[in-house]
Structure 1
Amino acid sequence: MSEDASPTISVAIEIDDPVLADRLVLLLGGVAGLTLAAPGQAADLAIVTRMAAGAREPPEVELTPRELDVLALMAEGASNKAIARQLGISVHTAKFHVGSILDKLDATGRTDAVAHAARRGVIHL
């Protein structure tokens, strides 16, 4: 390699959405110093997504004011007992609110619920 030649970076594009993949290939195909790796070929960098085409999270989730209070405390890492004590409710009621939040956000757990809420703009971290 000569002193003037810059090293090339090989990029693999592994995106389930064919329209988006084609757009990226067009955009990156002409960039100096980049080469696009063939499927299955080793690359220096990979752009990967497994989201189904057109899949979008709903922008709004209807949480009650009390659920928003509980969600804010969940974001701080509070346990059900701490949530109950902070809000002046029973642990059973706190647990009920947490379950309702998980259902409404289609979350698998407390951390997932906070992440979903943050992505949807329900809470700001």
Structure 2
Amino acid sequence: MTADASAPVVIAVEIADAELADRLTSLLGDISGIRLAMPGEMATVAIVSRGPQGAVEPTGIELTPREQDVLALLAEGASNKSIARQLGISIHTAKFHVGSLLEKLDATGRTDAVAHAARRGVINL
């Protein structure tokens, strides 16, 4: 089966959140070369909500503004030295904030801290 280059891409939107689904279909409906699938129609692409396993956990985590700054820099891959330089603090203070983040996020390392924070909605990647 050969795809026709002039045929529109047919997209099915299967999202439980009605408001989000309406916003998404409204945005997609205005794009040339895209057509939204009718109910039951085969689609080229499907946008499906991730369900409970992809849901954001409640945060329950209180981060100071400085810890939020450090977390954002950790997400960019910054070293303690780079964090210290960018925030105008000592390397010792940067290490202290990173350690505090690891403890609060129950993380085993810097990457794990960013992953935990993203899952809990503390940071958006």
TM-score tier after normalising by the smaller chain length: 0.5 to 0.7
Give the TM-score normalised by the residue count of structure 2.
0.54
Counterpart amino acid of 1:88? G
Kept in 1: contact 2:101–2:113 (CA 8 A): yes
Residue pair 1:60, 1:122 contacting (<8 A) in 2 also: no
* 3-state SS of 1:122 partner: coil
- In structure 2, give the amino acid aligned to 1:95: K
- Map 1:1-125 to 2 at 5 A: 58-125=58-125
TM-align CA RMSD? 1.8
Report the Cα offset of residue 60 of structure 1: 2.5
Structure 1 residue 58: Cα displacement = 4.7
Which whole-Å CA distance do the structure 2 matches of 1:60 and 1:82 have between them? 28
User: Hey, what's the Cα distance between the residues in 2 that align with 1:60 and 1:87?
Assistant: 26
- Name the aligned partner's letter for residue 92 of structure 1: H
Taking only the aligned residue pairs, the percentage that are identical comes to: 84
The alpha-carbon distance between structure 1 residues 57 and 106, as it changes in their structure 2 partners (threshold 3 A), is farther
Structure-1-length-normalised TM-score: 0.54
Q: Equivalents in 1 of 2:96, 2:59: separation in Å?
A: 24
For structure 2, list consecutive stretches of 5 or more residues without a partner in the other structure: 1-55
Q: Which has the larger radius of gyration?
A: 1
Structure 1: runs of 5 or more not aligned:
1-55
